[in-house]
Amino acid sequence: MSCPVSHQAMPVERVDPLMPPPGYAQLLAEAPVTKVLDLIGLQTWLVTRYADVRAVLGDPRFSSDFVAPELKGLREEEDFVKPFIRLDPPEHTRFRRALTGEFTVRQIRLLEPGIRQLVEDQLDQLEKAGKGADLVEHFALPIPSLVICQLLGVPYTDHDRFQSDSKLLLTRELAPEDRMRAANQLRDFMLELVHLKRREPDAALMTRLIERSAEMEQPFSDLELASIGMLLLVAGHETTANMIALTTVALLRQPEKIEALRADPGKVDAYVEEALRLLTIVQHGVRRLATEDIEVGGEVIREGEWVIASLAAGNRDPGVYPEPDELDADRKRVSHLSFGFGPHQCLGQQLARVELQIALAALFRRFPGLRVELPEGEEIPYKHDMLIYGVHSLPVAW
């Protein structure tokens, strides 16, 4: 099969803010592996079918180790280390192996009591903020930020510093120089932490990584440790914060779902999995580079060509999920794509799940009358401008 060169733009315009752009459904039905122009005007293969997305993400011939097209021509500083999600094995394996034990189901269960207490404390803060409080500022963002700070050993008093740089890194249309500047500032912030933990070791994850590194055949440099910390810090709070707020919006649209959840809190995990699938906050997919000619879904992707695997489209593939646009907590469980697939599947997914389950169950238990309450004439400010989808703010009352 031969795919003609396409000048169709990658879908980005949403009709319903809680649904992917409708163009994905059309592509999935008519041309599940096709060429489009991506967000920066680059010709790219777009893969939308569930099985094909998994095939791309699970195949080592599709590389993660490349200079992002939007940064081409911009010289990286010599003391900048790529995040390990942008490396291929064996380099990627060296980083991931050192971290895997920190994010097992067993390890995350040990964190649950502390997370529950943090959630209750933030609900207290939300209540004190009063009617019209911003759920993002007082609940959705502080919870994962506090958790990842405690885990890494980052002083939460520095949260304004790292949150502003994290937000810049995830802004969709940002000058390459500004993106690099934000990354460098975060690197310097994490380097300070590494140096602090070398001088004053404690029980936090960064100290454990320093100690583990000393026993490795190829120890991590301080820059590599800082790179690990950067990735965990950004991913550890931005993604979960957006999911808490966006899931709240989705559930408030369907109050019967909230009542069902309050009646049976034990099903919160099913609601969380469905929300993760439906909302797919990595809204523009995952980029890979073909290192040889590879057939996917009947099309031959040539060596050196770009591929974007659409997690959002794959998560709504009707061949895998009957009635894919419905939030069905009783749906037969099929692993969704929101945490990726293959060797780069999200390392912190169990932590994210636990934070979401605890936060959402407690929020609707504590505030059964929760509702969005916007100033007259205003609408919910969705993150159409960001790489990770969500809401910028969410005024609520109860």
Q: What are phi and psi of 171, to 5 degrees?
A: -75, 130
The secondary structure element, H or E, covering residue 246 is helix 222-252
How far apart CA 340 and CA 315 sit, in angstroms, is: 11
Model's pTM, two decimal places? 0.94
Domains of the chain: residue spans and CATH: 23-397 (1.10.630.10)
For residue range 221-267, list pLDDT tens digits in order. Answer: 999 999 999 999 998 889 999 999 999 999 999 999 999 999 999 99
- The three-class DSSP label of residue 329 is coil
Q: Give me the mean pLDDT over the 183-208 stretch.
A: 95
How far apart CA 158 and CA 65 sit, in angstroms, is: 31
Predicted pLDDT of residue 130: 86
Break the chain down into helix, strand, coil percent, rounded to 5.
50, 10, 40
Cβ–Cβ under 8 Å, residues 339 and 345:
yes
For residue range 137-169, list pLDDT tens digits in order. Answer: 999 999 999 999 999 999 888 888 888 889 888
Predicted pLDDT of residue 67: 77
Reported as a pLDDT band with limits 50, 70 and 90, residue 70 is: low
Reported as a pLDDT band with limits 50, 70 and 90, residue 77 is: low
Query: Cα-Cα-Cα-Cα dihedral of 274, 277, 278, 281, to 10°?
Result: 130
How far apart CA 303 and CA 289 sit, in angstroms, is: 8
Say if strands 43-47 and 286-290 run parallel, antiparallel, or are unpaired. Answer: unpaired
Q: Is the peptide bond before 89 cis (omega within 30 degrees of 0)?
A: no
Predicted pLDDT of residue 71: 63
Share of the chain above pLDDT 90, in %: 83
